[in-house]
Amino acid sequence: MFDGAENISTEDEGNRVKTGIPGFDELCGGGLVRDRSYLVSGTSGAGKSIFSTQYIYNGITQYGENGIIVATEERPEQIRENMMRFGWDLQALEEENKLAIIDACSTKIGIPSQEKYVDVRPFDIRSMMDQIISTQEEIDAKRALIDSTTSISFYLNEAARIRIELLKLSTTLEIIGLTSLMTCEIIDENQPSRFGVENFVTDGTFSLYYDMHDNVRSRSIEIYKMRGSDHSKKVHPYEVTKEGFVIHPHEEVYTHF
């Protein structure tokens, strides 16, 4: 029985995909289970994109694992600029063919894209999967980020379709050897996902909270679910610093709702 971060089983720690995000890996037995997909959910501004991009960036720079980012909500240009604030030079990694950012945003909103990788049919999961598969072959990626599933889900509209299409996407990523994060925007912090199905088609859910208490907002993270792994069942505070996410695994938040 888990009773504090220090007692989490780490028996297959060596096989885990380390996020390298300070404080995170020790909350889940040493990192993510290889070739699985995880949901990162949170309200707007909770830190989903920063957390997930840090996973991709660390993968390349600390663990030699190339990465793919599928950008459905922000243009790649904006992502590069935002992440540069943390000193993460994504463009340099792209030039070395270690990172590919697929622009699935521009076409969707009807503007031209100068990007190398463009998803020309961004509302079509099949086309998105084909683009991910060819990009993965090109740069030998081991990690992926889909940021976000919510715009895809809005297009699919109905829970049953969202569930089957996201299951196809997460299964494809797993089969081709990508350990992935998918972000999911929520509006109610009591729910792990927006449409109530995204968390069922992924192997784990990490919930980011950004709550107001006594006029002060505080940030915390919970590993809501993680199939095939022991993990912390507590809610832990984190900060967004100038180096990105820093989670405090030995501290707990008791009253986040």
Ligand X SMILES: Nc1ncnc2c1ncn2[C@@H]1O[C@H](COP(=O)(O)OP(=O)(O)OP(=O)(O)O)[C@@H](O)[C@H]1O
Residues of this chain that bind Mg ion (CB under 5 A)? 48-49
- AA letter at 22: P
Eight-state DSSP code of residue 66: E
Among 45, 87, 196, 228, binds ligand X (CB under 6 A): 45
Q: Rule CB under 6 A: choose which of 240, 246, 248, 252 binds ligand X.
A: 240
SS (H, E, C) 163-191: HHHHHHHHHHHHHCCCEEEEEEECCCCCC
Q: Does 41 bind ligand X (CB under 6 A)?
A: no
Q: Which CB sits closer to ligand X, 150 or 229?
A: 150
CA pair distance 34, 226, nearest whole angstrom: 12
Q: Which is nearer to Mg ion, 22 or 47 (CB)?
A: 47
Asked if 235 contacts 224 with a C-beta cutoff of 8 angstroms, the reply is: no
Nearest of 118, 43, 48 to residue 77 by alpha carbon: 118
Beta sheet of 179-185, edge-to-edge order:
117-118, 99-103, 66-71, 141-147, 179-185, 37-42, 204-213, 216-226, 235-241, 244-247
The C-alpha atoms of residue 100 and residue 94 are separated, in whole angstroms, by 6
Hey, which residues between 49 and 88 contact ligand X (CB under 6 A)? 49-50, 73, 85
Binding mask 117-156 for ligand X (x = CB under 6 A): ----------------------------------------
Between 220 and 229, CB nearer to Mg ion? 220
> What is the nearest approach in angstroms of ligand X to the Cβ of residue 144?
16
Q: In the complex, what is the shortest distance from the CB of residue 110 to ligand X, in angstroms, rounded to a whole number?
A: 20
For the bound state, the minimum distance from the C-beta of residue 29 to Mg ion, rounded and expressed in Å, comes to 27
Closest C-alpha to 201, from 257, 146, 155, 123? 146
- 192 contact, one of ligand X, Mg ion, none, CB 5-8 Å limit per kind: none
Q: Does 47 bind ligand X (CB under 6 A)?
A: yes
Convert residues 174-213 into a mask of x (bound to ligand X by CB under 6 A) and - (unbound).
Answer: -----------x----------------------------
Residue 126 to residue 252: CA distance in whole angstroms: 42
Query: Considering just the CA atoms, what is the radius of gyration of the chain in Å?
Result: 17
Q: Which does 167 bind (CB under 5 to 8 A by kind): ligand X, Mg ion, none?
A: none
Is residue 104 within the footprint of ligand X (CB under 6 A)? no
Q: Is 102 in contact with 116 (CB distance < 8 Å)?
A: no
Q: Considering the complex, what minimum distance in angstroms separates the CB of residue 217 from ligand X?
A: 9
Q: Which residues bind ligand X (CB under 6 A)?
A: 42, 44-50, 73, 85, 185, 240, 242
